[in-house]
Chains A and B, each alone.
Chain A
Amino acid sequence: MALHIINRSPFQHSALRECLEVISSTDVLVLIEDGTYAASNPAAHEDNLARIIRSGRAYALQEDLLARGIEAQTLVINMDEFVTLCTEHNPIQSWF
């Protein structure tokens, strides 16, 4: 199972969209930095994202959500849990 990391705003960059085009049904998605803006309003993006959120495979990093004053509809993880996820998945692909 792959882990995909997105760190760019879904409104300004194609990173999230391009990732969602190729993500498999068992892969996990982690939204960090400006990528967390996708977690607050997923309906504005792809149906695929809502499906991944419903199946519990989408995470957003708590530190980055707090900094930006946004609430996530994804699962929320802290930095330690992010590290754990990275150790549990292979390969890891960064989208930026």
Chain B
Amino acid sequence: MKKILFVNRQAPFGRSYAKESLDALLAASAYDQDISVLFSGDGVFQLIKDQQAKSIEQKNIASTLPALEMYDITKVFVQASALSARGLTTGQLAITAKPLNEAEISALANTQDSILSF
């Protein structure tokens, strides 16, 4: 079993990274790996609840995220400083994500076998 960290740094709709990351995450979960997910930088915008993506004819990222838990992906983290820089709090997020500071993120990354960036 390998430790794999998915790093999401992009906002949800301007580009397709968020959707592709989620697809890759759910696929990877089928292979019984030790998966962690980090939302940092603009990636924290993926977590905002009350997204109404149908207004731009896309699918809600935030409404798919609760599926992570069903796929046994429970190590979900968010960069605390990225939230505060954007005026957000954990209460505004669609799923439970553990806030990490930069030192904790560094430690998390350094324990991984692979890091996939989106």
Contact = CB atoms under 8 A, between A and B. Distances in A.
Given A67-B55, A68-B51, A70-B48, A34 B86 contact: no
B87 A67 contact: no
Interface residues of B, number: 22
Interface residues of A, number: 19
Interface in B1-46: 10-14, 41-42, 45
B14 A67 contact: no
B53 interface: yes
A11 B13 contact: no
Contacts of A69: 48-52, 62
Given A11-B41, A66-B55, A69-B50, A44 B85 contact: yes
Nearest to A96: B14
Given A11-B85, A69-B52, 17 more contacts: A9-B11, A9-B14, A9-B42, A11-B86, A12-B11, A34-B11, A34-B13, A34-B42, A41-B86, A63-B55, A64-B56, A67-B55, A67-B58, A68-B13, A68-B51, A69-B51, A69-B62
